[in-house]
């Protein structure tokens, strides 16, 4: 399949990395910056074209006449929109995805603009809305620093850090499965000393480990409790930053039937005024989110969660650290640069939200590889969770898991079939049509995809 990616920045390059792994794909990346194009072509098996992604001659040079998909992920909304228009009108590219950041384009009053007759974009991805959704998931389960749904919400991937008082430290995972046999959950991976490792039955967990587990949705809280991380939904929240993300989160919280109490801090008088006009129950405070007296006015010590969502990474990290030190139970910071992760740990910040990861995962959900229904990137792309459906021709179909041929750096987390949801066992047979959730380290992803006999398809 021939795919054109417009934009070789962080989002575009990560999408190129994912799609180029499949030898059936012919990927071309387009960007104005020759250095970014060169970096992408040298790092991944992709072609590169330097130039403006919205220009017809550049798109033609990139192979638009034969392309089956265009993903417009440059920094400029208007370039993304025009690129989709040109790809549709001049080259009849059938599938087009655009990243649109400006919320004005996404307001209901202008929704017709994005319809195919007006602006031929099949899928619009809003980074701000994606990040807001991630933030809201953190509030629903604050003790999990990562949380993602699979199998139509029947199971979730959750991640948490083990404290020194975790009751099951130094216990082999095999023994945990025996002790809690009614719990539909399995530890699929852990990160220790910065290295992500697939969990084996003989492995033991230690204080400071970040663990990833897959569990039935109704068993996630119970599983967190097993690891000493009792999780209660946040009912009192402080938000620092009234930009697009902060405002979206606050608006969504005001719609919550549990009537979450929210206080917002914003340093810009214009943004604070806009937020105060848009919000009904949220208290908006004008001032610096790093100022201890203002945090005290926001009742930070009594807050269940703090979300630092400004457009400045350093401000977010420091505000979250101060909120945590002041007594807030959970502090989450927005960080465009994922390399802040190590610093955030030292500052006591509970979790980072990386917009790039949220956007890439959202786009990949709409670029589905044959029977692969979802792809979720873990950490900075060093692992992935894949939801796939077994075909009758798949090498794994009709075989028990122990002999299905999954690579060592991959592990099955859950299976949904005719008999309902099942957790993995060595004698569990994968049948045609079963949907399987697999955790894989980066180097094993291609082999996992091969087991499901994939070919790129598009579903809007």
pLDDT on residue 443: 87
Element of type H or E holding 304: none
Helix axes 244-254, 269-278, angle to 10 degrees: 20
Of the candidates 54, 94, 57, 50, which has an alpha carbon nearest to the alpha carbon of residue 73? 54
pLDDT on residue 143: 87
Q: Is residue 59 within 8 Å of 53, Cβ to Cβ?
A: yes
Terminal CA-to-CA distance of the chain, rounded, Å?
A: 17
User: Mean pLDDT for each 10-residue chunk of the chain (460 residues)?
Assistant: 93 88 84 96 94 96 95 95 95 94 76 64 89 89 88 93 92 89 93 92 93 95 91 89 94 90 96 95 95 94 95 95 93 89 85 86 72 77 87 85 91 93 91 93 86 53
Provide the residue ranges of all domains of the chain, joining segments of one domain with +.
2-125, 236-357, 358-451
To which residue do tokens 């370039």 refer?
79
Alpha carbon of 293 to those of 300, 301, 330: distances in Å?
10, 12, 19
pLDDT on residue 460: 44
Residue ranges with strand state E in 218-316: 236-240, 261-266, 283-286, 305-308
- The span from the CA of 73 to the CA of 10, in Å, is 9
Angle at 3 between CA 7 and CA 16, to 5 degrees: 50
Q: Is residue 5 within 8 Å of 73, Cβ to Cβ?
A: yes
- Level-2 CATH architecture, domain 236-357: 3-Layer(aba) Sandwich (3.40)
Class of domain 358-451: alpha beta
pLDDT on residue 370: 52
3-state SS of 340-375? HHHHHHHHCCCEEECHHHHHHHHHHHCCCECCEEEE
Q: What share of the chain is helix, strand, coil (3-state, %, to 5)?
A: 35, 25, 35
Of the candidates 234, 68, 52, which has an alpha carbon nearest to the alpha carbon of residue 137? 234
- Level-2 CATH architecture, domain 2-125: 3-Layer(aba) Sandwich (3.40)
β-strands 47-50, 26-31 pairing: parallel
Alpha carbon of 379 to those of 52, 218, 332: distances in Å?
31, 25, 15
User: Which SS3 state, helix, strand or coil, does residue 390 take?
Assistant: coil
Q: Is residue 28 within 8 Å of 49, Cβ to Cβ?
A: yes
Task: Phi first, then psi: give them for residue 251, nearest 5 degrees.
Answer: -60, -40
**Which DSSP category does 210 fall into?**
E
β-strands 195-198, 69-72 pairing: unpaired
Of the candidates 105, 98, 130, which has an alpha carbon nearest to the alpha carbon of residue 7? 98
Same fold for the domain at 2-125 and the one at 236-357?
yes
């Amino acid at each position: 399949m021939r795919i054109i990616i417009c934009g070789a920045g962080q989002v575009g390059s990560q999408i190129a990395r994912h799609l180029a792994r499949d030898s059936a794909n012919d990927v071309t990346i387009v960007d104005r910056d020759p250095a970014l194009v060169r970096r992408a072509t040298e790092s991944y098996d992709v072609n590169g074209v330097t130039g403006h992604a919205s220009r017809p001659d550049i798109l033609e040079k990139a192979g638009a006449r034969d392309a089956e998909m265009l993903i417009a992920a440059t920094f400029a909304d208007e370039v993304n929109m025009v690129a989709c228009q040109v790809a549709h009108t001049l080259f009849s590219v059938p599938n087009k995805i655009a990243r649109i950041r400006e919320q004005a384009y996404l307001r209901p009053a202008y929704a017709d603009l994005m319809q195919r007759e007006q602006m031929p974009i099949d899928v619009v991805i809003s980074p701000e809305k994606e990040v807001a959704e991630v933030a809201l998931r953190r509030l629903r389960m604050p003790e999990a620093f990562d949380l993602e749904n699979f199998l139509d919400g029947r199971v979730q991937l959750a991640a948490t850090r083990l404290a020194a008082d975790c009751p099951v430290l130094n216990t082999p995972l095999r023994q945990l499965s025996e002790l809690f046999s009614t719990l539909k959950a399995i530890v699929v991976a852990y990160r220790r000393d910065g290295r992500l490792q697939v969990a084996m039955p003989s492995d033991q967990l230690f204080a400071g480990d970040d663990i990833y587990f897959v569990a039935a949705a109704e068993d996630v809280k119970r599983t967190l409790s097993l690891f000493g991380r009792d999780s209660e939904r946040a009912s009192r929240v402080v938000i620092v930053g009234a930009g697009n993300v902060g405002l979206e989160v606050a608006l969504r919280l005001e719609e919550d039937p549990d009537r979450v109490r929210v206080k917002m801090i914003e340093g810009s008088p214009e943004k604070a005024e806009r937020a105060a006009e848009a919000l009904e129950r949220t208290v908006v405070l004008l001032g610096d989110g790093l100022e201890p007296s203002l945090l005290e006015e926001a009742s930070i010590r009594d807050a269940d969660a703090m979300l630092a969502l400004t457009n400045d990474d350093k401000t977010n990290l420091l505000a979250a650290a101060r909120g945590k030190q002041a007594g807030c139970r959970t502090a989450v910071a927005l960080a465009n640069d994922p390399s802040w992760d190590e610093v955030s740990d030292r500052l006591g910040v509970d979790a980072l939200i990386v917009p790039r990861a949220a956007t890439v995962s959202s786009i990949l959900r709409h670029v589905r590889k044959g029977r692969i229904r979802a792809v979720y990137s873990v950490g900075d792309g060093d692992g992935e969770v894949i939801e796939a459906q077994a075909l009758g021709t798949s090498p794994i179909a009709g075989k028990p898991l122990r002999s299905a041929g999954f690579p060592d750096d991959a592990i099955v987390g859950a299976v949904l079939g005719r008999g309902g949801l099942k957790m993995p066992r060595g004698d569990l047979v994968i049948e045609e049509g079963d949907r399987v959730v697999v955790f894989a380290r980066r180097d094993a992803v291609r082999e996992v995809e091969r087991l499901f006999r994939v070919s790129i398809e598009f579903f809007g």
